[in-house]
Amino acid sequence: MQSYRLTHLQELEAEAIYVLREVASQFENPALLFSGGKDSIIVAHMARKAFWPAKIPFPLVHVDTGHNFPETIEFRDQYIKDIDATLIVGSVQKSIDEGKVIEEKGYSASRNILQTVTLLDTIEKNKFDCAMGGARRDEEKARAKERFFSHRDEFGQWDPKNQRPELWNIFNGKKNIGEHFRVFPISNWTEMDVWQYILQEKIQIPSIYLAHERDVFVRDGVIMSTTDFIQQRETEPTIRMKVRFRTIGDATCTGAVESDADTVEKVIEEVAAARTTERGTRSDDKRSEAAMEDRKKEGYF
Amino acid sequence: METNSYLDMELLRFSTAGSVDDGKSTLIGRLLYDSKSIFQDQYDAIEETSRRKGEENVNLALLTDGLRAEREQGITIDVAYRYFATPKRKFIIADTPGHIQYTRNMVTGSSTSNLSIILVDARHGVVEQTCRHTFISSLLGIPHVVFCVNKMDLVNYSEEVYLKIKNDLEAFSSKLNVKDIHFVPISALNGDNVVNKSENMDWYQGSSLMYLLENIHIGSDYNHIDCRFPVQYVIRPQSEKYHDYRGYAGRIAGGIFKPGDKVAVLPSGFTSSIKSIDIMDGSLSEAFAPMSVTITLDDDIDVSRGDMLVRDNNRPNINQDIDIMICWLNEKKMLLNGKYAVKHTSNDVRCIIKEVKYKININNLHRIEDDKEVNMNEIARISIRTTKPLLYDKYINNRFTGSLILIDEGTNETVGAGMII
């Protein structure tokens, strides 16, 4: 007799597709946040699956810090073209120019935290009532408390101690005018699941996820790419190393790891053997024990 | 871990419940630590915090307490989700707080679980909270329950103590609807029988907790008999190539569907046949719960979100007057004759609370018939009338089509979790 069972990746995919369709049904004007990072890529991939043969019924939104790895932007533009989707870009540079935020100064200056203002602005300007993203509960301890459907008040704030209970697979997206939702279709995925899914589905990803030769320098034990956006100290000489990135965020706060993994298969082996979390290379999380919780309360993803 | 073996793993969702200080967080920390799912930087961070707080050992509980308030107060406030994998299975843990005021969190965390781990302190045996957690597991229809008798190290690993507790648990559980029960004596702190078999309890012939988690048969946890397909979204590409395409997207809530099957569309009652079951990579020869697919029909009939495709000869209940067990989740008490919004499968309706039949004392399962005020964390049997008929099954037969939530129409908060009787 045939056994009717799904592998864990099939079950996770079925859950994510269900969430994506629920968003398209419950919200009038949703959007998918798309950074060109692997997590948002797999969400976009499943959005294609969820609505095939129709096009993805919502735009993709990139909150652009202006401090990108060029490979990510190239990838983003090609990807949008390939899947025939609509892209909306919210620019942090513009928020700075308009005086809405003030750029951090000093050696460890980053625009990562400024994204929140631009994100909330973009949501407001386009009247999005739901912003989906590729955040996962396993990434960070504050995110472990997050719901699939996460309510935000009119200021975009998250109230982690007073969240709506979420039962079975019934999602309550009801809200008042001016409020919105953040929805996380891949809440239950781990870094390993994402990589396995990329392999299984043969999904294209930006080249910097795979090992390559790069000019880097070391700061506080983290390997950083040399870029125009970071000021190197004299004690931080440029060196050439074979590296890859485990996460892709703002270039000023995303570190690389030394690696020989130049194929997805090799990345999976490396992830299986890894002894640090992927956000261990993110200096934005290291600012304090509750850094992520504090940013999320304000409206960060 | 082999690349290929990982592609053939199953998913097991479990929840953990225990009283305050039963060592629940320690157990989860132990499972993560012994299965090598804790990363060095996470371990370093909690080691540092433990040291700062002047604690003797590394406090594995700190791994699961994600919010600042939780770490400050040393308690778990909200359901936290944790993930780990072994070569056999991927696990999702819903870690639910054990405090009395947080029954709603346990109901929430348990609602999607295949398995429930209930911790019992070997020194205290079966206490009120144990009964409550067992009852909630049974009420939520969790197919498998594992009782972990914890802190065996503090009772000298005594078989006698363990057997007494096991007997008590068996007696209590026999009154409930739990299909599959297991018992394991453990010490979460020292790791006895958690991942590895304990050398301190050679009298115990059973398996370790991890062995159970990896091997319990979960293939029958979904209903593969009664065909239920709630239509979630209608796909109409309106493109040149797919001009006439009309697909019904949704997640199969029960049964097995195949092209050619005769189906009825409810509530209209029109019948048709399945033309194809589509996914982006092509068409399927069959699909079953809990897959997300798109179904096309041979006939052009009106089908929209909220409708349900079923087998013509196996239909769900269709009714406006429905009896449910409700767990109340909100500080504002439930209002008799009050009106609430209802979400059930892909349907949105409204309802009125017609009657509270009785409440249940969840510590001893006695019915309370003289006090019918339903407050937060209380469980009651009630009757509701909905604005239009729901297409449902009994909760014990199908968790997807037998569950609903009540929403306060003023605040939009989810206030009640209902299981249809």
Q: Which of B193, B96, B191, B101 is nearest to B142 (CA)?
A: B96
Is B417 an 8 Å CB contact of chain A?
Answer: yes
Q: Which of B138, B38, B48, B49 is nearest to B82 (CA)?
A: B38
Pairwise pLDDT comparison (B121 vs A254), residue with the higher score:
B121
C-alpha–C-alpha distance, residues B152 and B410, integer Å: 50
Is A263 an 8 Å CB contact of chain B?
Answer: no
Residues of A in contact with B71 (CB under 8 A): 289
Is B246 an 8 Å CB contact of chain A?
Answer: no
Q: Which of B335, B357, B344 is nearest to B418 (CA)?
A: B344
Q: What fold is seen in the domain A8-193+289-298?
A: Rossmann fold (3.40.50)
Burial of B302 from C-beta contacts in 10 A (0-12 / 13-18 / 19+): exposed
Residues of B in contact with A268 (CB under 8 A): 3, 6
Interface of B with A in 254-273 (CB under 8 A): 256
Domain B228-311's class?
mainly beta
Mean of pLDDT values over A3-10: 89
pLDDT at residue A296 greater than cutoff 70? no
Mean of pLDDT values over A198-216: 93
Mean of pLDDT values over A154-166: 83
Cβ pairs A/B, distance under 8 A:
187
What pLDDT was estimated at residue B73? 60
- What does the pLDDT look like over B363-420, one tens digit per residue? 888 999 999 999 998 999 999 999 999 999 999 999 999 999 999 999 999 999 999 9
What pLDDT was estimated at residue A1? 46
- In chain B, CATH 2.40.30.10 covers 228-311, 317-420
- Least confidently predicted of A24-28, B19-23, B296-300, B383-387: B19-23
What pLDDT was estimated at residue A81? 94
C-alpha–C-alpha distance, residues B100 and B50, integer Å: 27
pLDDT at residue B276 greater than cutoff 90? yes
Q: Examine residue A53 and say whether the peptide bond preceding it is cis (omega within 30 degrees of 0).
A: yes
Neighbour tally for B10: CB within 10 Å: 17
The full set of domain ranges for chain A reads 8-193+289-298, 203-285
Q: Which of B29, B109, B110 is nearest to B64 (CA)?
A: B29
pLDDT at residue A254 greater than cutoff 50? yes
What pLDDT was estimated at residue A138? 84
Q: Of the segments A242-251, B24-33, B90-99, B275-284, which one has the largest average pLDDT value? A: B275-284
Site from A8, A11, A162 to mutate, B interface, most B CB atoms within 10 angstroms: A8
C-alpha–C-alpha distance, residues B18 and B117, integer Å: 8
**Can you name the residues that pair with B235 across neighbouring β-strands?**
B247
C-alpha–C-alpha distance, residues B208 and A205, integer Å: 41
Which residue is closest to B38 within chain A, CA to CA? A275
Out of A8, A14, A293, closest to residue B292 by CB? A14
C-alpha–C-alpha distance, residues B366 and B358, integer Å: 10
Interface of A with B in 61-120 (CB under 8 A): none
Residue B35's pLDDT band (boundaries 50, 70, 90)? confident
- In chain B, CATH 3.40.50.300 covers 3-215
DSSP per position, B328-366? E-SSSPPPTT-EEEEEETTEEEEEEEEEEEEEE-TTT--
What pLDDT was estimated at residue A280? 62
Is A271 an 8 Å CB contact of chain B?
Answer: no
Phi–psi pair at B53, nearest 5 degrees: -85, 0
**C-alpha radius of gyration, chain B, whole number:** 24
pLDDT at residue A87 greater than cutoff 80? yes
C-alpha–C-alpha distance, residues B67 and B77, integer Å: 8
From residue B405, alpha-carbon distances to A96, A194, B116, B301 in Å are 44, 31, 22, 30
Mean of pLDDT values over B337-342: 97
Residue A157's pLDDT band (boundaries 50, 70, 90)? confident
Residue A161's pLDDT band (boundaries 50, 70, 90)? confident
Could you tell me whether strands A180-183 and B180-185 are parallel, antiparallel, or unpaired per DSSP bridges?
Answer: unpaired
C-alpha–C-alpha distance, residues B5 and A126, integer Å: 45
Residues of A in contact with B11 (CB under 8 A): 6-8, 11-12
Is B99 an 8 Å CB contact of chain A?
Answer: no
Region B317-420: CATH code:
2.40.30.10
Residues of B in contact with A267 (CB under 8 A): none
C-alpha–C-alpha distance, residues B178 and A94, integer Å: 59
HSE (side-chain half, CA atoms, 13 Å) at A219: 23
What pLDDT was estimated at residue B395? 96
A3–chain B nearest CA distance, Å: 8
Q: What is residue A165's three-state secondary structure?
A: coil
Is B238 an 8 Å CB contact of chain A?
Answer: yes
Instruction: Please give the mean pLDDT across all residues of chain B.
Output: 89
Q: Under an 8 A CB cutoff, do B6 and A161 touch?
A: no
Residue A54's pLDDT band (boundaries 50, 70, 90)? very high
Residue A5's pLDDT band (boundaries 50, 70, 90)? confident
Q: pLDDT over 90 for what percent of chain B?
A: 65
C-alpha–C-alpha distance, residues A163 and A165, integer Å: 6
Q: Under an 8 A CB cutoff, do B6 and A196 touch?
A: yes
Is A5 an 8 Å CB contact of chain B?
Answer: yes
Positive or negative, the Cα torsion across A94, A99, A105, A109? negative
Q: What is residue B133's three-state secondary structure?
A: helix
- CATH of range B3-215; options 3.40.50.300, 2.130.10.10, 3.40.50.1000, 3.40.640.10: 3.40.50.300
pLDDT at residue B140 greater than cutoff 80? yes
Look up residue B66 and give its DSSP letter: -
What pLDDT was estimated at residue B337? 95
Between helix A264-273 and helix A191-201 the angle, nearest 10°, is: 160
What pLDDT was estimated at residue B420? 97
- What does the pLDDT look like over B65-121, one tens digit per residue? 656 666 566 555 678 788 888 888 999 998 887 665 568 888 888 999 999 999 999
What pLDDT was estimated at residue B61? 66
Neighbour tally for A193: CB within 10 Å: 24
Calculated CA dihedral for residues A260, A262, A267, A270, nearest 10 degrees:
-10
User: And the tokens for A2?
Assistant: 């045939």
User: And the tokens for B244?
Assistant: 């006439």
B87–chain A nearest CA distance, Å: 11
C-alpha–C-alpha distance, residues B313 and B263, integer Å: 9
**Can you name the residues that pair with B383 across neighbouring β-strands?**
B323, B355
Which residue is closest to A160 within chain B, CA to CA? B67
Cα angle value A296/A226/A258 (rounded, 5°): 80
pLDDT at residue A287 greater than cutoff 60? no
What pLDDT was estimated at residue B180? 92
Is B225 an 8 Å CB contact of chain A?
Answer: no
pLDDT at residue B1 greater than cutoff 50? no
What pLDDT was estimated at residue A30? 97
Q: What is residue A74's three-state secondary structure?
A: helix
Is B396 an 8 Å CB contact of chain A?
Answer: no
- What does the pLDDT look like over A92-122, one tens digit per residue? 778 778 877 777 777 667 777 777 888 888 8
User: And the tokens for A280?
Assistant: 């261990």
Residues of A in contact with B404 (CB under 8 A): 170
From residue B128, alpha-carbon distances to A245, B17, B18, B361 in Å are 51, 13, 11, 11
pLDDT at residue B296 greater than cutoff 60? yes
pLDDT at residue B20 greater than cutoff 70? no
C-alpha–C-alpha distance, residues B60 and B82, integer Å: 13
Residue B31's pLDDT band (boundaries 50, 70, 90)? confident
Interface of A with B in 121-150 (CB under 8 A): 137-138, 141-145
C-alpha–C-alpha distance, residues B330 and B417, integer Å: 10
Q: Of the segments A249-258, B217-226, B367-376, which one has the largest average pLDDT value? A: B367-376
- Least confidently predicted of A44-48, A67-71, B291-295: A67-71
